[in-house]
Structure 1
């Protein structure tokens, strides 16, 4: 199990440096991209996380990734090098998650997801996001999800709040009411 307090310290330090330069959101996207890249590629994860490879070999791989990625924020480059140097690349997924959460809190954003039976248009997502912003009094960033089991309507979860307007839930509620009679 990864020690979250260590990941939190790295995420906080990265956020502090990124905020000073005004690039917190750019760093958030880039650190998430790097974490996803390592998580999705088994061979890459093996090289970066396996102690059988030397620190220099892992650093060379990280440097090649940075170079291949194009423009990477200097704060993130330094953090990745530090993680290699201290043998803490295993913390990268947690650092990315905690960084995003801290950056969202700092910017007054809430993240959530909206589930529907079919893909929603950008216009519909924007309207839904606007409605949720009015309800929560915070900027809401929604991640769309498609689940054919929903049948119709949408369910939006923002933080711990769930707004469920799905046909499936309404049918289930009707079924329960009819059983009680």
Structure 2
């Protein structure tokens, strides 16, 4: 619970500053890329999180990453420096997730996942996105996943609402109905 509270505080501050500069989405994209680099490299994570490394060593690593990424937003660069100074880099993935959620809420977007037994065609995903957009009255950003255990059909989750049209669920419902008779 402490992680969420700390992450929410930093994410809100970053969002407010990014909103003033009209750079909410650019900061979100760069923050996500930074977190992916941070999580995908165990050596980098070790340097940034291990207390055996000094604050100045971590600061040099973060500065090098900022220079390597090149066109990083100054708002994000300052936030990363602040996280190093306050020894809060461990919360960076949570901050990125909360920031993205807050940015989506501010922009009227909602994220969702569509799961199917096999890969869906891009036009089918787009058609499903438009249908979900009409149902939710919000801009929907869909991620596509595959799960062969669904057997067929599609399951879509948007926010906390699940639309399940999978064959597996339909078979389960028929099994329950037959048991009750």
Shared topology, TM-score over 0.5? yes
Aligned to 2:101: 101
Q: How far apart are 1:2 and its partner, in Å? A: 4.6
Offset, 1:36? 2.3
Shift of 1:13: 1.0
Kindly report structure 1 stretches of 4+ aligned residues shifted beyond 6 Å: none
**Cross-structure match for 2:125:** 125
Q: TM-score, normalised by structure 1?
A: 0.95
**Alpha-carbon contact 2:111-2:159 (below 8 Å) kept:** yes
Could you list the per-position Cα deviations for residues 28-75 of structure 1 after superposition, in whole angstroms to 9, with x for gaps in the alignment?
111122122222222111100111111111111111112222311111
Paired residues in the alignment total 181
* TM superposition shift of 1:179: 2.4
User: Contact (CA 8 Å) 1:104, 1:110: kept in 2 or not?
Assistant: yes
Alignment partner of 1:14 is 2:14: yes
Higher mean displacement: 87-96 or 118-127:
118-127
Where do residues 1-181 of structure 1 align in structure 2 (5 Å cutoff)? 2-181=2-181
1-side partners of 2:39 and 2:134: how far apart? Answer: 36
Shift of 1:178: 2.1
Aligned CA RMSD, in angstroms, stands at 1.3
Note if contact 1:10-1:95 (Cα within 8 Å) is conserved in structure 2.
yes
Task: Kindly indicate whether the alpha-carbon contact (under 8 Å) linking 1:83 and 1:89 is maintained by their aligned counterparts in 2.
Answer: yes
- Is the CA contact 1:2–1:91 (under 8 Å) kept in the aligned structure 2? no
TM-superposition CA deviations, 1:153-179 (whole Å, max 9, x none): 100001111100011111111222222
Deviation for aligned residue 1:150: 0.8
Q: Gapped runs of 5+ residues in structure 1?
A: none
